[in-house]
Amino acid sequence: MGLGIDIGASSIKAVRLERKGAELRVTGVVKLATAEVPDEDYNVDAGAASALAQNLAGAGIRARNAAVGVSGKDLILRYVEVPPVPPWRLKMIMEFEVGEMATRAGGDVSSNFRLLDLPPNKAGNQIVLVALAKNAYLEKRIEVLGGARIGTGDLIPASLALFQAFLLQGAPPPGETTLLVDIGARNTEMAIQRDGVLLFSRNVSSGGNLFTRSVSEAMRIPFPEAERLKCKEGSVSRAGALKMTSPGAEAAHEALVGTVGQFAALIRSSVQFCKSQTKNEELKLDRIVLSGGGSRLRGLKESLSSTFRIPVDVLPPFGNLPVVADDPEQAEKISESPRDMSVALGLAACALLGVSALPLLPERVRRRREFAERKVFLVGAGAAAAGFLALGIVAGVHNKAVAKDFQKQVDKQIDASNKIKNGIGEIKAGMTRTREVLELVQAETSAPGRFLRVLAWIQKNMPDNLWLQGVELRRETENTIRKGDASAVVTGWAEKSVADPTKALTEFLYKMQKTLPEDVHTVKMEQPKEKDGKLAFVFTVRLMPAPVEPKGGKEGEGTEEGSLRRR
């Protein structure tokens, strides 16, 4: 059984998913409204825990733990481009990247990363998805679960849960690039997929409240009243506007129409962000699929379809999954659940199927879980040992002579097995050491190895008045440079408030030229450009070519042109 809980700004949704054979079934649903609280309180009503416990009990839902969604301004999702490297080297790179992101986030954070299942981009590099969330935010979610007497499963970015919910609807059309958009009250989750593979996911701190606020301001009415009007009569279509009977309905309609334009611009910027982050400028959407409470706004689907000129559909709450409940009333309630259950459904699928969806856990929770898992293993091992001991005693009492003879034979077999095992262990250890040496040699004589040394130097020596935006490994293809050689391109900016930022850049360039590792051939700086009140800079660090050796010939003989080969 898998339980997913989506804690939103104004409601909590829970879905229980169970498996019977190869079939998945929805067997329980809970939705309860909560008082909306300010952002700094991490979107959770003080009475949410007890209310959740009561509603779960009323629906007959019991679970040891649950997967919970993570969203909002305290969640950061970023994409990092890395060269193809062994897993241990990838971990080193990501530790550096996460450290930089955590420093900018300015707080105690938990993090995780995932190498996306995508082919290398044009530069031959891979794309890694990195997630960070503030621990104060995560702890508040854990507190709600504890108050509802539910253990902490995984804390999962809601946009990844949305992607899992989409996959439960069945295989997507081959070759289709689909944008998934779940519109909550305060946040919008987005994910882009093609052929069942995740290309991109993002959280935007803007949702249905954006529309409500526009109505409130246009009609000069309190926010709660504007929310009721939006849900009851609000429409962005002309036909729907004619049916609005409230005073000032025309002003409300115009406000909603204008806000749809803002929301469409938000979607466009997210798609553009996907292109830049994943280095996929050829990305083109074929369809948009909406979900979430905000998607119920009348005319929104048609308006977005007209704006983007592609089909826009609505994600069914549970798709083709059967709904099963012992209580007919509960079954009817599940079947009639609104479309804002998608994230909770995706979380339940992650919990049930063990999907690796980039879980985020505070250090104390992660250590406690590891300890519990070790404890379970030790208890099981102890029970098994006790069982074998009891069987041995019974056998000995039954026939002591036979048992002693059998024990001698077993001891001989164990000794022989241990000798074989030790020999195999020594061979494996030797192979492991050889592999590690080969990987180290390969890394040290390859562009990624040299690139990482430059990265480490920049991390250590970057002045406080300069901000690093990115470091990219580029392989040269020009005829004037040997194909396969590489450069590290360092980008960033200097604040205009810094006294003489040009001088600060020149001094850093001089320091790079004098003290960078010996792997560096040359360092050049492009003319700094002023952008958005900052002075943007680009340094190109050309790495030394890989060593070469003569191909054929005797020692001491020269080599003809074109006869060099890389080691």
Give CA–CA dist 366/371, Å, rounded.
9
Q: Whole-prediction pTM value?
A: 0.65
DSSP 129-148: EEEEEEHHHHHHHHHHHHHT
Residue from 357, 344, 364, 351 nearest 135 by CA? 364
Whether domain 1-157+320-361 has CATH 3.30.420.40: the reply is: yes
CB contact at 8 A, 181 and 285: no
Give CA–CA dist 205/393, Å, rounded.
66
Q: Would you say how long the chain is, in residues?
A: 567
pLDDT value of residue 566: 33
Cα–Cα distances in angstroms (integers) from residue 382 to residues 46, 153, 176, 220, 393, in the given order: 43, 26, 53, 70, 16
Task: For strands 520-525 and 529-531, give the pairing.
Answer: unpaired
What amino acid occupies position 351?
A: A
Q: Phi and psi (nearest 5°) for 4?
A: -115, 135
Give CA–CA dist 134/491, Å, rounded.
27
Tokens of 269: 């910027």
Give CA–CA dist 359/158, Å, rounded.
11
The distance in angstroms from the start CA to the end CA of the chain is: 54
Quote the crossing angle between the two packed helices 300-308 and 249-278, to the nearest 10°. 50
Q: Is the four-CA dihedral 14, 18, 23, 29 of positive or negative sign?
A: negative
Region 170-315: CATH code: 3.30.420.40
Cα–Cα distances in angstroms (integers) from residue 322 to residues 24, 165, 186, 327, 340, in the given order: 7, 14, 31, 15, 18
Give CA–CA dist 248/322, Å, rounded.
44
The number of helices, as runs of H, and strands, as runs of E, in the chain is 15, 20
Rg, C-alpha atoms of the chain? 30
Task: For strands 2-7 and 65-70, give the pairing.
Answer: parallel
pLDDT value of residue 520: 80
pLDDT value of residue 212: 93
pLDDT value of residue 161: 93
**Mean pLDDT in order along the chain per 10 residues (567 residues):** 88 89 86 66 67 84 87 88 87 84 79 86 85 88 86 88 90 91 93 92 90 91 90 80 67 88 93 85 92 91 94 86 72 69 92 82 75 52 52 50 63 66 62 55 56 79 79 63 68 74 83 78 86 82 64 41 33
